[in-house]
Amino acid sequence: MTPILYQECIDACLKSMNACNHSYVASLKEYDLAVLRHSIRLDRECADICSFAIQAMTRQSPFVGSILRLCAEICDACAAENSNHIHIHCQACIDACRSCAEACRSISEVVEVYA
Amino acid sequence: MTPILYQECIDACLKSMNACNHSYVASLKEYDLAVLRHSIRLDRECADICSFAIQAMTRQSPFVGSILRLCAEICDACAAENSNHIHIHCQACIDACRSCAEACRSISEVVEVYA
Amino acid sequence: MTPILYQECIDACLKSMNACNHSYVASLKEYDLAVLRHSIRLDRECADICSFAIQAMTRQSPFVGSILRLCAEICDACAAENSNHIHIHCQACIDACRSCAEACRSISEVVEVYA
Amino acid sequence: MTPILYQECIDACLKSMNACNHSYVASLKEYDLAVLRHSIRLDRECADICSFAIQAMTRQSPFVGSILRLCAEICDACAAENSNHIHIHCQACIDACRSCAEACRSISEVVEVYA
């Protein structure tokens, strides 16, 4: 039902939200969670904007371009922070966030052209 | 990354959010949108709780049982309202909302048992 | 508890969300809702980003600057659309959205300087 | 613009979201954050449902009764968890969450009667 244009980006946002929330929960269970405090905060930030972006795409928001640019910015920051940590769940975030940032930027450029 | 338990329900919520937001946008473009005013409102309500439920599952919320029961209640109401309308996008909502309500109730019963 | 810096902007976002959601509900009850279809959509967009911005400020999001810039952009668009309509609830949106856009821009400039 | 009925409850939810997000941020900065791991998680859960409840009230959701019952349940759990901790920001949560739970239950009973 969602225009094909968005489907790939919705999937990328869902994977990123998933990875971030998984890492958030896992980090809060770690013995050494003190070193993960920034990562925990960014995981939540990233999951929240991904969730917002997903719904914006499904309702074909007229502001999808700007929303996805914001999502890409936060995904980049989350990937950067998680790359400071060797935990498997942090490493999984890096890939998911980077792919999501890339997908968001691709769409926001296409939307720009059509606007 | 999401526990397999939730994956099916996340998919059902995503499909329901998608169908509701698609119907919302399509309804607002209809010539006879006056007959769809209740449907438009319920589509938004349903999309919003589905979005909330999806994120709650990905972060393994301790309140997933109650959140999914609420989601099922709103999905049921949205399916009922949309069944008053013959528009294709309304009909598509009925199936998506009913499947979502069912998936949410299955999980909330399982969660109950484990709690 | 929220840093004083944000309190005024949180209030402005809450007023804007309130006015937009009130106009959304009232529009869907109007006899001539067909002329209000764009306004209905923008009211929802604006309420959703205001809600997101409020929570971002209360959790002192590191991305408050970018989030508030997006909020200001959507508030401006919502005010512009509502200024096409003479309904009292549309007129009430204009003021609330413009004040909110202004408050968001003030904060995002201050945040910029500190960053 | 919001019906007077809801104004007090919106304020209570805002105060609760504020206290929870403040405690969330403060907890993640504590030296002994390991003892606060459950509290951090519940603070986020509580802030998220409060945010959802606030928007639901401003858009006069037909599901306000059920949404506020869920909000009260999560506020109670968050107050209970925070009462295990002597940190000032945790103690501040207890009051805010309890007041919010009470306000939510009052409204949901009133709504019940009118429904």
pLDDT class of C110 with cuts at 50, 70, 90: confident
Residue A79 has pLDDT above 70, yes or no: yes
Residue D49 is predicted with a pLDDT of 98
Q: Which of D27, D32, D33 to mutate to test the interface with A (most CBs of A within 10 A)?
A: D33
CB-based contact A49:A64 (threshold 8 Å): no
Residue A15 has pLDDT above 60, yes or no: yes
Contacts of C44 in chain A (CB under 8 A): 59
Contact: A14, B14; criterion CB under 8 Å: yes
Contact: B51, A47; criterion CB under 8 Å: no
Q: State percent of chain B over pLDDT 70.
A: 93
Contact: C33, B34; criterion CB under 8 Å: yes
> CA D112 → CA B3, D66, D109, distances in Å?
36, 9, 5
DSSP summary character for residue D3: -
Chains that touch C (3 or more CB pairs under 8 A): A, B, D
Q: Which amino acid is at B42?
A: L
* Whole-number Å distance between alpha carbons of C9 and C23: 21
Closest chain B C-alpha to C85 CA, distance in angstroms: 17
CB-based contact D82:D42 (threshold 8 Å): yes
**Closest partner residue to B66 among D52, D63, D70, by Cβ?**
D70
Report pLDDT digits (tens) over C59-78. 999 999 999 999 999 999 99
Listed in sequence order, the DSSP H helices in A1-115 are 4-27, 37-58, 64-82, 88-114
Q: Which two tokens stand for residue A34?
A: 């003190």
Contacts 24+ apart (CB under 8 A), D94-98: D95/D19, D96/D12, D96/D15, D96/D16, D96/D18, D96/D19, D96/D20, D97/D16, D97/D19, D97/D20, D97/D46
> How many Å separate Cα D2 from the centre of its chain?
19
* Whole-number Å distance between alpha carbons of C78 and C44: 9
CB-based contact C74:C46 (threshold 8 Å): yes
CB-based contact B18:B96 (threshold 8 Å): yes
* Whole-number Å distance between alpha carbons of B96 and B79: 8
Better-predicted residue by pLDDT, C77 or A110: C77
* Whole-number Å distance between alpha carbons of A100 and C48: 22
* Whole-number Å distance between alpha carbons of A82 and A76: 10
| B61 Cβ under 8 Å from any chain D Cβ | yes
Instruction: For tokens 């049921």, name the residue.
Output: B76
Residue D57 is predicted with a pLDDT of 97
Report pLDDT digits (tens) over B10-42. 999 999 999 999 999 999 999 999 999 999 999
Domains and CATH numbers, chain D: 4-114 (1.20.1270.360)
> CA A67 → CA A108, C10, C65, distances in Å?
8, 20, 14
Residue C48 has pLDDT above 70, yes or no: yes
| A66 Cβ under 8 Å from any chain C Cβ | yes
Residue B5 is predicted with a pLDDT of 87
Q: State percent of chain C over pLDDT 70.
A: 93
Contact: D21, C58; criterion CB under 8 Å: yes
Residue D110 is predicted with a pLDDT of 86
The overall average pLDDT reported for chain A is 94
Contacts of A66 in chain C (CB under 8 A): 70, 73-74
Closest chain A C-alpha to D108 CA, distance in angstroms: 27
CB-based contact A69:A108 (threshold 8 Å): yes
Range of lowest pLDDT (B71-80, B106-115, D102-111): B106-115
Chain B contacts in chain C segment 6-35 (CB below 8 A): 25, 28-29, 31, 33-34
Q: Which two tokens stand for residue B95?
A: 């199936």
pLDDT class of B110 with cuts at 50, 70, 90: confident
Residue C59 is predicted with a pLDDT of 97
- What SS3 class is residue D14? helix
| A87 Cβ under 8 Å from any chain B Cβ | no
Residue B113 has pLDDT above 80, yes or no: no
Residue D55 has pLDDT above 70, yes or no: yes
> How many Å separate Cα A31 from the centre of its chain?
26
* Whole-number Å distance between alpha carbons of A46 and A41: 9
Residue A44 is predicted with a pLDDT of 98
Could you give the ipTM of this predicted complex? 0.94
Q: Which two tokens stand for residue D28?
A: 């993640």
pLDDT class of D5 with cuts at 50, 70, 90: confident
Q: State percent of chain B over pLDDT 90.
A: 90
Report pLDDT digits (tens) over B86-98. 999 999 999 999 9
Instruction: Calculate ∠ Cα A1-A103-B71, nearest 5°.
Output: 45
Residue A5 is predicted with a pLDDT of 86
| D66 Cβ under 8 Å from any chain B Cβ | yes
The residue among A51, A58, A42, A62 whose CA lies nearest residue A112 is A62
Listed in sequence order, the DSSP H helices in chain B are 4-29, 37-58, 64-82, 88-114
Overall residue count recorded for chain B in this entry: 115
CB-based contact A16:A99 (threshold 8 Å): yes
Instruction: Calculate ∠ Cα D111-B45-D99, nearest 5°.
Output: 45
* Whole-number Å distance between alpha carbons of C59 and D47: 9
